[in-house]
Structures are given as C-alpha cells and as structure tokens.
Amino acid sequence: MAFKVGDVVEMTADALENYGEEWAGVPLRVTHVATKYMPAAEFFAKGKPRGYHPGYDEGVGDEALYDLETLSGKALEFSLYGWEVERAQ
C-alpha cells in the first residue's frame, strides 16, 4: 500500500525486529515519500526535491521510501520502505 505525506502509519513486525520493540504501536506521520534515487550532494544542493532520496535503492521495485516523524514532531533518524510500515490502527 502506498502512503502519502501526512498519513499516519506504524511499523510492521518485520521493521520492529530491525528497529526495536519500543516502536511497537507508535503512530508515525509520513513527512517525505521517495521513489527515485538522487546522490546526497545533489539532493541537498537542490533543497531536498520531492520524490527523491539519497538512501533510495532502485532495486526495490515499486516500493516507496518514507521519512517519518512521531506525532509530537520528532523526526526519525532512519527511513522505512513500504513493506516496513502499515496504516496505524
């Protein structure tokens, strides 16, 4: 399922294995959606253009890479792919 900026999601069981159970059931807001790679220097020089991300792996097919924040506005220090998030309950 594809999400858009502003959607509220939470981590899947697979993501919790990687990032820790402290994230279980924590609602997260999507702040950026990327479906294309751009080298970091170019990405930041161009002001973080929508749809691009220096961490995006083009080998993942149609999966988007999401930047997220807690509902209180604290940005996560990592990004998650579509298979690592689901709509919040």
- Pair of tokens at residue 54: 């220096």
pTM of the predicted structure, to 2 decimals: 0.91
Give the pLDDT confidence of 68-85 residue by residue, as tens digits.
999 999 999 999 999 999
pLDDT score at 11:
98
Taking the C-alpha atoms of residue 80 and residue 26, their distance in angstroms, rounded to an integer, is: 14
Rounded Cα distance, 11 and 87, in Å: 9
Strands 80-81 and 65-70: antiparallel
